Structure 1
Amino acid sequence: MRELFPAKQVWGFILSLVLTAAALLVYFFNMSRTIGMTIFIVTAFIQASVQLVVFMHARETDDSKSIFANIYYALLIALVTIFGTLLCMIWGWKY
Structure 2
Amino acid sequence: MKELFPLKQVMGFAFSIFFTLLALAVYFFNMSFTIGMTVLLVTAFLQAGLQLVVFMHAGETEDKGAIYTNIYYALVIALVTVFGTLLCMIWGYV
Superposed displacement of residue 26, structure 1: 0.7
Runs of 4+ in 1 over 2 A off after TM superposition: none
Q: Which runs of 5 or more structure 2 residues have no equivalent in the other structure?
A: none
Matches of 1:26 and 1:93, distance apart in 2: 32
SS at match of 2:59: coil
Superposed displacement of residue 48, structure 1: 0.3
The CA deviation string for residues 3-24 of structure 1, in whole angstroms up to 9 with x for no partner, is 1110000000000000000001
Superposed displacement of residue 68, structure 1: 0.4
1:76 aligned residue:
76
Superposed displacement of residue 88, structure 1: 0.6
Q: Which runs of 5 or more structure 1 residues have no equivalent in the other structure?
A: none
Q: TM-score, normalised by structure 1?
A: 0.97
2:41 aligned residue:
41
